[in-house]
Amino acid sequence: QNEKELQDVVKQQEKKMLQLIDKSGEVTRLKGEVSQLKRSLQRAETEAKVLWEEMRGQEPKVDAAYVQERVLLRQEVDKLRLLLLEKEDENLLLSDKY
């Protein structure tokens, strides 16, 4: 009887562990999705910022290629800033770990 109870407890624990693993995977997937949405939002904000600056300070006729180049440059700067922040976070985690 004790052995049967132990087997039941082990099965319940295995079931709980599988549920936790499933939830962990879902959390990881959602974090990735949130990260991608943040990047998309940042891209859109960058484009809006550049377009606003160009419309504010330029003559009525604005060169579309120039605006596009500015948008791409701003996106690159934002991407590099984000990478820097991620690396700084990784360094903090590593220094906390050790």
46 and 66 within one domain: no
Burial classification of residue 46, based on how many CB atoms lie within 10 Å of its CB (0-12 exposed, 13-18 middle, 19 or more buried): buried
CB 67 within 8 A of CB 50: yes
Q: What is the mean pLDDT of the chain?
A: 82
Domain containing 4 equals 1-57
52 and 67 within one domain: no
67 and 45 within one domain: no
pLDDT band per the 50, 70, 90 thresholds, residue 23: confident
Rounded-to-integer distance, Cα 90 and Cα 75, Å: 22
pLDDT band per the 50, 70, 90 thresholds, residue 11: very high
**Cα torsion through 44, 50, 53, 55, rounded to 10:** -80
83 and 38 within one domain: no
DSSP state of 31: H
66 and 30 within one domain: no
Q: Which of 27-31, 57-61, 69-73 has the highest mean pLDDT?
A: 69-73
33 and 1 within one domain: yes
Structure tokens at 80: 């590099």
- Verdict on whether the full-model pTM lies above 0.85: no
42 and 24 within one domain: yes
44 and 5 within one domain: yes
pLDDT, tens digit, 9 for 90 and up, residues 62-92: 677 777 888 888 888 888 888 888 888 888 7
Domain count, the chain: 2
> Between residues 53 and 80, which one has the greater pLDDT?
80
